[in-house]
Structure 1
Amino acid sequence: MKPPHLLLLEDEVPLAKILQESLQKRGFTVTHAPDGKQGLELFRQHQFDICVVDVMLPQLDGFSFVREVRKVNSQLPVLFLTAKSQTQDLVQGYASGGNDYLKKPFTLEELVLRLQELLRRQPPLENLSQTLLVGRYTFLPQKQELWLEEKLHAKLSHRENELLLLLVQHRHRVLERKAVLLQLWGDDGFFQARTMDVFITKLRKHLRQDASVEILNIRGVGYKLVGKG
């Protein structure tokens, strides 16, 4: 089996060298870039299976790099390395298209486990090419777009897209909160739960022009999408 090709964006050269050598010993092929601009050039030149991205990068920060990646690839797993732990910073990371984060300092074993988990995860929708109706809205998951009356209504972030896909798949059924956190975030901890609430609020704002469509909060259990479709 071909080893997974990992793109590492880290401006601390000693740390990057240690990670590159250690991950290669663990079965990864690792390509390193010291800043976001070079990372974007490498991304456009090669095919990668996963990315590890430091948030604080010169030239182009990690969040901006991932936003550019998501314009052409909505499924590439991305793990952020960050010294930040505030909820808003985590929300920004997920909103830009990140799949997971790891706070510095961290152990190599934890990093490898996170990477293996991201590589194992499957997209939440088996057929991303289909068009889905949500009340008066048309949802195009492959393009991460929400249309209303033949006009583009919202360009969804990667995480908004994944969450709306799950809600639509479970329309008129309760989508359990813990199951979503584990599937999309790989963790059902406090920060991830707060982050999920933020994205539910964002989706409600996107859908508020059709009063028949609602995302209900089923207290203590999860959420339910109701409305015609």
Structure 2
Amino acid sequence: MKKKILYVEDDTTLAFLTADNLEQEYEVVHYDNGKEAFDAFTEQDFDLCVLDVMLPQMDGFELATAIRERDVEVPIIFLSAKTLKEDRIKGLRLGADDYLVKPYSMEELTLKIEVFLQRSQKQSKQKNSKYTIGNFAFDAVNYTITHNGKTTQLTERESALLQLFIENKNIVLKREQILKSIWGTDDYFMGRSMDVFISRLRKIFKADERIRIENIPRVGFKLVAP
């Protein structure tokens, strides 16, 4: 699933070029004024915000302040023609993660977006380390899964695999998607290891008939759970 970016820019030409580039990798929701962008932020979930500073109705600094009052973690990148050091410092003090001066390169912007998304995802995983699935309690940090007082020790890879399934519960995951996420490659031998791990997880979940890892032929797997 593509990460969702809130992009706010009132320069029509620049907005079209930037959004067109970003949409190759991300879902981009564009607004040309701060007020509409903030209304959207209150109604939708975004993984990252890219904000121009000079905006109508609500400027980028005001928009970032309002966003931070609702969400202290979502990454924010400012894009601005304002080159003064004071403006950059103001933006960072408001809680922005970075401040790029126009004209910026798409390569640099894309790289920064990817870095902040990865950091945000890592922090989220560290924070959300304990899960409940059916009658099971899963601790992703200590690699354990507990059912009716009985605790089973998982390997690090089994734990990472289970966490990926739980975070995408009831969603089909492609084989290559799982392999690249957990093993970093989708070659044949890693695929065999994954099949062994999935088999072990299936045995563990036999204790709760509501939970199953379905094989989707020629596609991948889906964790079905309440």
Contact in 2 for aligned 1:64/1:96 (Cα 8 Å): no
Offset of 1:121 from its aligned partner?
A: 1.7
What residue number does 1:54 align with?
A: 52
What residue number does 2:7 align with?
A: 8
Which has more helix, going by share of residues?
A: 2
What residue number does 2:35 align with?
A: 37
Offset of 1:85 from its aligned partner?
A: 2.3
Instruction: Tell me how far apart the structure 2 counterparts of residues 127 and 106 of structure 1 sit (CA, whole Å).
Output: 33
**Unaligned 5+ runs, structure 2:** 129-226
Offset of 1:70 from its aligned partner?
A: 0.7
TM-score with structure 2 setting the length = 0.53
Larger RCO (CA within 8 A; separation ≥ 6): 1
What residue number does 1:98 align with?
A: 96
**Unaligned 5+ runs, structure 1:** 129-229
Contact in 2 for aligned 1:9/1:54 (Cα 8 Å): yes
TM-score with structure 1 setting the length = 0.52
Write the mapping of 1:176-195 to structure 2, written as runs, cut at 5 A.
Answer: none
Bigger CA radius of gyration: 2
Runs of 4+ displaced beyond 2 Å: none
Aligned identity (percent) is: 35
Instruction: Tell me how far apart the structure 2 counterparts of residues 90 and 35 of structure 1 sit (CA, whole Å).
Output: 20
Write the mapping of 1:77-156 to structure 2, written as runs, cut at 5 A.
Answer: 77-122=75-120, 123=123
Instruction: Tell me how far apart the structure 2 counterparts of residues 70 and 77 of structure 1 sit (CA, whole Å).
Output: 10
Amino acid across the alignment from 1:63: F
Instruction: Tell me how far apart the structure 2 counterparts of residues 55 and 33 of structure 1 sit (CA, whole Å).
Output: 13
User: For this pair of structures, how many residues does the alignment match?
Assistant: 125
Offset of 1:127 from its aligned partner?
A: 5.6
Instruction: Tell me how far apart the structure 1 counterparts of residues 100 and 17 of structure 2 sit (CA, whole Å).
Output: 17
Q: CA RMSD in A?
A: 1.7
